[in-house]
Amino acid sequence: MKHVLTLDNLHVSYGNIKALKGIDIKIPEGKIVALLGANGAGKTTTLKSISGLVEVGEGRISLSLSDSIENITNLVPNKITQKGIVQSPEGRQVFPELTVEENLKIGAFTVKHKHEIKKNYESVYNYFPVLKERKKQIAGTLSGGEQQMLAIGRALMASPKILLLDEPSLGLAPLIVKDIFKIIKEINAQGTTVLIVEQNALQTLKIADYGYVLEVGEVSIEGPASELIQDKKLIDAYLGGH
């Protein structure tokens, strides 16, 4: 099985605080991989290190989208986006003063060809019909669920090969969460590899192929999602129970 993204012995520190203590993670092509764990476990730091938003102190991040393996450790964020790794950040972070359509257009800043941008618009509106209805609406006036759809849609505008999702269900009503997870599954079915950071472990493991549990900056458990979801002790201990 081909791994498109490999994190080897990754260390990240904030001053004297060690956020990641030598983690190893492999992301297989075309799969959904879940990164789970409590607050402060290092999940967001892992995504930010992949995106080039925090500096890796030690270890290596390798990308293998073509036949060659490329070291992308500490590359600048826009170069990482150009290589096909795109993040939808925690807390949505849409541009509240701009319209839905303008927010989406910003997501396509690394895409050079007009026909590809047009195709991406169509694809986003296909996944999220409500965004098409509201394309002229100011993003700050959307509901939380719609803003989350917009954040994911904006990431999709960059034609990601690997989509990084940080807490897509945060603060959303259960029914909206169900919709978001269904769409993530559809995006993956179209060929996009997904790495998802979530506190909503049960929902995530239902759609994921493989899972890693982080605990204070280290991988404590990993395995196929179908096995992790059966582990009652794991669910209770790390993932907040049923």
What tokens does 226 get?
Answer: 């179908």
CATH architecture label of 3-238: 3-Layer(aba) Sandwich (3.40)
pTM of the model: 0.92
- Residue 104 pLDDT: 95
The residue-averaged pLDDT of 46-70 equals 93
Give the CA count within 13 Å in the CB-facing half-sphere of 167. Answer: 19
Q: Do 48 and 35 form a contact (C-beta atoms < 8 A)? A: no
What angle (nearest 5°) sits at the alpha carbon of residue 147, between those of residues 30 and 169? Answer: 55
**Cα separation of 169 and 28, whole Å?**
23
**Cα separation of 209 and 136, whole Å?**
37
From residue 239, alpha-carbon distances to 93, 174, 191, 195, 242 in Å are 26, 17, 28, 18, 8
For residue range 60-100, list pLDDT tens digits in order: 999 998 888 999 999 999 899 999 999 988 766 899 999 99
Helix, coil or strand: residue 182:
helix
Q: Do 11 and 27 form a contact (C-beta atoms < 8 A)? A: no
